[in-house]
Amino acid sequence: MAILEARELHRFFHIGDEETVALRSVSLTLEPGEIVAVMGPSGSGKSTLMNCLTGLDEPDAGFVRIDGVRMSRRPEADKARLRAHAFGILMQSGNLFPHLSVAENLRFQMLLAGRFDPERSSRLLLGVGLAHRANALPTELSGGETARAGLAVALATDPPILVADEPTAEVDTATEGRLISQFEARRAAGKATLIATHSEALARRADRVIRLKDGKVIDV
């Protein structure tokens, strides 16, 4: 059974009298233990799709189900609970609280879910190569370190689904390799990962690639 299912998603944005169609009848599924890459040019709808799938945005038509439970058109409190239980979310920016250290960001994320685990926190920092930067503030990190710290926070509660929006953008090859290793470890553990990316290297490691153009799926 798919852990994530989206059917016929449409999303429209209006600025004055102008209407932009960001998603056009997009459907997809995500199975446990699967890595799926969503690819397409800038403006193709990748980020809008990620927001609709995680309940951060509401599709204008269609629906999203998480492990059989409907996410779309539910009260915000219900969506927040489902999101906290099911998702780790890595956005293009804003994944870290700037006044907290890397370790404190991890701790806070775990406490929000009621699952603080110091040993897991240490393992995550070691896994992304940031054990030596645990006490650094986000402003003290390089771009690659920030990406790895954000991933560690997204993985803090070992979520069934990881949704990552351009996780390897503007990072070096070594950092990209570290991030890919984390995604592959999740696959081996039966966890699902959905990645919006421009990276062909990352796409080659995926089980499936979904391609978007102008808000439509053009190749699956």
Mean pLDDT, all residues of the chain: 92
Please measure the distance between the N-terminal and C-terminal CA atoms of the chain and give it in whole angstroms. Answer: 19
pLDDT category of residue 112 using cuts at 50, 70 and 90: confident
Sheet holding 192-196, edge to edge: 87-90, 161-165, 192-196, 35-39, 208-213, 216-219
Q: Is the pLDDT of residue 204 over 80?
A: yes
What is the C-alpha to C-alpha distance for residues 217 and 29, in angstroms, rounded to an integer?
13
Question: β-strand 35-39 against 208-213: which pairing, if any?
Answer: parallel
Tell which residue, 110, 174, 182, 100, has the closest CA to residue 141: 100
Q: Is the pLDDT of residue 170 over 80?
A: no
Each residue's pLDDT tens digit, 21-44: 999 999 999 999 999 999 999 889
Each residue's pLDDT tens digit, 77-99: 999 999 988 999 999 888 999 99
Average pLDDT over residues 55-66: 96
Domain that holds residue 62: 4-219
Domain count, the chain: 1
Q: pTM for the whole thing?
A: 0.91
Percent of the chain at pLDDT > 70 equals 99
What pLDDT was estimated at residue 18? 81
What pLDDT was estimated at residue 220? 57
- Residue 75: give its domain's CATH number: 3.40.50.300
What pLDDT was estimated at residue 92? 85
Question: β-strand 192-196 against 161-165: which pairing, if any?
Answer: parallel
